[in-house]
Amino acid sequence: MLIKLPFRFILSVIAACSAGLVGAAFAAAQGAASVRVQVVDADGMPVRDAVVELHSARRPSGPIRFPWKMGMAQKGLQFTPGTLVVAKGSTVAFPNLDQVRHSIYSFSKPARFEIDLYGRDQTRTQNFPITGSVKLGCNIHDDMRGYIRVTDTPFASKTDHNGYATLAGMPTGSASLTVWHPQLRSPANEMKSAFSVSGAAQVHKLKVVLR
């Protein structure tokens, strides 16, 4: 990959009070915190559908379960949701809710596969055993794009339309933070930085440069 310019990655703490003192004290006593992140672009505008992941050496054991569905529909000639965060090893369902047939292909390293054309109200599934980012397309509709972010941390979420993501129950102490977005201008479209999780509720603003 050709890298001409170093990316800018500024991590700054902008605020430190969005929970009551009692709640914060409780979280600190438990050694866990709720980390709130806002991802913005070079102009300060919110970046939606960026995936934020926190890795901690103190991560709890056991399987990772996210509260959202492990599914991505094809609806209105689009993958919906367009970005899906899944745990490593997950099987994702791809229901076709359109009147027309769709296929699914990926040339991405963590999951190279091709699912032949299938029609309305049919579903296909695919397993994602390797962490990383998977870009999906449809052979019939060139504009269809879907992204699966496969992660091995339970502290992962994508940003909302205001650029915010909340990662609850994060163990306090040192961690590593990764932000990924398909247009992020850096190798593998992701950036990592060291991160310290304290017991106090905080909002961390991440400035990224998009293509």
**Binding residues for Cu ion, per CB under 5 A?**
102, 138, 140-141
Structure tokens at 43: 């102009």
Beta pairing class for 113-118 and 173-180: unpaired
**Distance in Å, CB of 73 to Cu ion, minimum:** 12
8-state DSSP, 18: S
**Distance in Å, CB of 133 to Cu ion, minimum:** 21
**Distance in Å, CB of 180 to Cu ion, minimum:** 25
Q: Helix-strand-coil percent breakdown of the chain, rounded to 5?
A: 5, 50, 45
| Of residues 11 and 117, the one with the C-beta less far from Cu ion | 117
| Of residues 43 and 142, the one with the C-beta less far from Cu ion | 142
**Distance in Å, CB of 103 to Cu ion, minimum:** 6
CA distances from 33 to 25, 29, 72, 168 (A): 10, 10, 30, 6
Nearest-CB residue for Cu ion: 138
| Of residues 24 and 138, the one with the C-beta less far from Cu ion | 138
- Ramachandran category for residue 133: left, alpha or beta (phi over 0 → left; psi -120 to 50 → alpha): beta
Residue 92 pairs in a beta bridge with: 126
| Of residues 141 and 207, the one with the C-beta less far from Cu ion | 141
